[in-house]
Amino acid sequence: MKACIFDLDGVLVDTAKYHFIAWQRLANNLQVDFTEHDNEQLKGLSRDASLDYILKKGKISASSSEKEVWKEQKNNWYLELVNTMQENEVLPNCKELLSDLKSNGIKIGLGSASKNAALILTRVNIKHYFDVIIDGTVTSISKPNPEVFLLGAKVLDLQPNECIVFEDAINGVIAAKAGGFKTIGIGEKEVLTEADLVFPDLSSLNFEMLNRIV
């Protein structure tokens, strides 16, 4: 293990609940029903792919300018929520784990679909831990494509099998596995079926045990 590459939303911070509120608000405005199950499908997908999912569900065809307006609307609602985030909204053991990995010489990367990633890392004060940040501003293909993680490994000058990816979304787990990464699912085993190992959250993880189990 030479590097750990973390997804952001749902792994390091609990922003999945804010994405859910904002997408549900948009979907309902468009007369489309939006459930927890739908939200699960959207985890890890880009903003574009998420809107396409909702439009497909509602059998809505839209022009590209309408799509731009709706994506901006959703993002504004999302940012209203994100801008209230406090430093303590990192998930349990997040800072302790990042700090432990760093002090043991492990490189730390971010592999997120979000275009708001840098803003969120700054808000919760963890940006300084990262050696590389690959996010939705630099990727062109949404998870489950492995691009985001492969770019991270490339910048770190490492092979995928030298890096562990941490993911809470099935699309992200599939992406990491497709890229040849060891993959730790964060969430439920029943959902993250393709992951090498699954933990409910980061709370039991540290350098010593990760080094031993991977």
* Catalytic site residue from 7, 38, 135, 168: 7
State which H helix or E strand residue 98 sits in.
helix 94-103
Place of tokens 């985030």: 85
Site map for ligand BG6, 87-116, x if CB under 6 A? Answer: -------------------------xxxxx
- Which 151-210 positions form the footprint of ligand BG6 (CB under 6 A)? 169
Is residue 144 a contact residue for Mg ion (CB under 5 A)? no
Is residue 75 a contact residue for ligand BG6 (CB under 6 A)? yes
Closest listed residue to residue 204, CA positions, set 78, 96, 71, 64:
96
196 in active site: no
- 197-199 β-sheet, strand order: 132-134, 107-111, 3-6, 163-167, 182-186, 197-199
Is residue 40 a contact residue for Mg ion (CB under 5 A)? no
- Residue number with CB closer to ligand BG6 (141 or 209): 141
Q: What are phi and psi of 30, to 5 degrees?
A: -90, 15
135 in active site: no
Peptide linkage before 160 cis (omega within 30 of 0): no
Q: Which residue stretch of 29-37, 44-52, 123-131, 185-193 sits at the interface with ligand BG6 (rule: CB under 6 A)? A: 44-52
Nearest-approach distance from CB 30 to ligand BG6, in angstroms = 16
Quote the tokens at residue 63.
């022009």
Coil/strand/helix, residue 185: strand
Residues lying near ligand BG6 in the complex (CB under 6 A): 8-9, 19, 42-47, 50, 75, 112-116, 136, 169
